[in-house]
C-alpha cells in the first residue's frame, strides 16, 4: 500500500495498518506530542487504534511546538529525515 506521510511517499508492506501502527512504523517516540491529519481531517487520538489507512492516504504528523522561551518544552520529536 502506498501512502504519503508528511509529503513523502511510503510503501507499507503490511495489509491493514492503523494510524497507531503507522506511528509505530515511523518510530514516533512520543505519540502524545503529535496531531494526526488524514486527508485533511483531524483524527481523534482515541481513534488512532481503529482508523485504518487506505491506498493513497495523505497523512500529516503535526508536532506540538512551544514558543518563545522554550521553558516547558521537551526534546524535539520532529523527524525531518
Partner 1 sequence: MELSEAYLERYSRHILLQDVGVEGQEKLAAAKVLIVGAGGLGAPVALYLAAAGVGTIGILDHDLVELSNLQRQVVHFTKDIGAPKVDSAREKMLAINPELIVKTYQDYLCAANIHEIIAGYDFVVDGVDNFPTKFLINDACVMAGIPFSHGGILRFDGQTMTVLPGQSACYRCVFRTPPPPDAVPTCSQAGVLGAIAGMLGTIQATEALKYITGVGDLLTDTLLSFNAKAMTFRRVAIKRQPDCPVCGAQPTITKLVDAEQSVCDLKR
With residue 19 as reference, give the H or E element that holds it. helix 19-25
* CA proximity to 59, closest of 27, 24, 23: 23
2 counts as binding partner 1 under rule CB under 8 A:
no
44 counts as binding partner 1 under rule CB under 8 A:
yes
Q: How many residues bind partner 1 (CB under 8 A)?
A: 30
Q: Collect all residues with Cβ–Cβ distance below 8 Å to 16 and sequence separation of at least 6.
A: 52
9 counts as binding partner 1 under rule CB under 8 A:
no
15 counts as binding partner 1 under rule CB under 8 A:
no
| 8 Å CB contact between 34 and 61 | yes
- Judged by the rule CB under 8 A, the positions of this chain that interact with partner 1 are 6-7, 30, 32-33, 35, 37, 40-42, 44-45, 60, 62-76, 78, 80
Amino acid at each position: 500500500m502506498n501512502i504519503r506521510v508528511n509529503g513523502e511517499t511510503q510503501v507499507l508492506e503490511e495489509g491493514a495498518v492503523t494510524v497507531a501502527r503507522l506511528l509505530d512504523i515511523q518510530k514516533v517516540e512520543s505519540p502524545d506530542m503529535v496531531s494526526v491529519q488524514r486527508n485533511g481531517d483531524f483524527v481523534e487520538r482515541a481513534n488512532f487504534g481503529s482508523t485504518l489507512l487506505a491506498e493513497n492516504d495523505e497523512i500529516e504528523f503535526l508536532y506540538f511546538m512551544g514558543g518563545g522561551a522554550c521553558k516547558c518544552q521537551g526534546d524535539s520529536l520532529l523527524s525531518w529525515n
